[in-house]
């Protein structure tokens, strides 16, 4: 079971990292648009649509990545006081009754939206550039499918935790700056105590 968990988790992390480059494209396109609009007085007709699509792609594809990293917001005021087994049972119930129905709806209706968009060769109505958006709309069911796969991985993680009483280790990708600072402080404190002895 663990190899499937790590496979789905690795897939979500890899795709999240790949789509993370949308931030760079988004930043460069905003910078370019600001420069040509306010310095050269020659605004583009495509930049706004491109920015919307890059942000949308980043938002959609970051969902599976965040789920794989356990980075989604959680109201854990009471939850964190429970044992790991109880936490896993709660998570498993929530995945089955809330997460999977929502993600199946995202996949199903996203597929309908994307297929209609491809059939009509849909273009953006927001700008005179008439940029094609059917490629972008294909990310909706793709994100839903990836979230379903990652949800399966998380459900397996819950089952393992219920059996073993501890959460399986996650792939480490990035950590919050605060976590890095705390671990560095703990390491410095440990070294200081070792020198004193």
**Confidence check: pLDDT of 169 > 80:** yes
Chain segment 62-89, per-residue pLDDT in tens: 999 999 988 888 777 888 889 999 999 9
The residues, any chain, with a CB within 8 Å of residue 45's CB and separated by 6 or more, are 127, 128, 129
How many domains does the chain contain in total? 1
Under a CB-based contact definition with an 8 Å cutoff, are residues 49 and 124 in contact?
yes
pLDDT score for 122: 87
d(CA 38, CA 43): 8
Note the pLDDT tens digit of each residue in 47-66. Answer: 888 888 888 999 999 999 99
Range of the domain at 68: 2-196
pLDDT at 119: 94
- The structure tokens listed for 104 are 């199946």
Among 27-31, 38-42, 73-77, 103-107, the range of highest mean pLDDT? 103-107
* 88-139 confidence digits (pLDDT tens): 999 999 999 999 999 999 999 999 999 999 999 888 877 777 888 888 899 9
Give pTM, 2 decimals.
0.81
Q: Is the pLDDT of residue 12 over 80?
A: yes
């Amino acid at each position: 079971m663990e190899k499937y968990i790590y496979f789905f988790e690795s897939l979500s992390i890899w795709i999240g990292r790949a789509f993370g480059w949308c931030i760079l494209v988004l930043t460069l396109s905003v910078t370019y648009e600001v420069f040509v609009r306010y310095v050269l007085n020659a605004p583009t007709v495509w930049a706004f649509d491109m920015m919307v699509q890059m942000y949308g792609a980043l938002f959609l594809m970051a969902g599976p990545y965040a789920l794989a990293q356990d980075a989604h917001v959680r109201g854990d005021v009471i939850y964190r006081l429970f044992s790991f087994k109880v936490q896993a049972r709660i998570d498993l119930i929530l995945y089955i009754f809330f997460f999977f129905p929502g993600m199946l709806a995202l996949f199903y209706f996203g597929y309908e939206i994307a297929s209609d968009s491809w059939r009509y060769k849909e273009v953006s109505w927001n700008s005179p550039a008439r940029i094609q958006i059917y490629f972008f709309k294909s990310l909706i069911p793709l994100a839903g499918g990836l979230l379903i796969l990652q949800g399966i991985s998380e459900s397996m993680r819950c089952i393992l935790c219920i059996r073993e009483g501890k959460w399986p280790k996650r792939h480490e990708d990035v950590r919050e700056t605060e976590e890095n600072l705390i671990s560095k402080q703990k390491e410095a404190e440990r070294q200081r105590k070792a020198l004193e002895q």
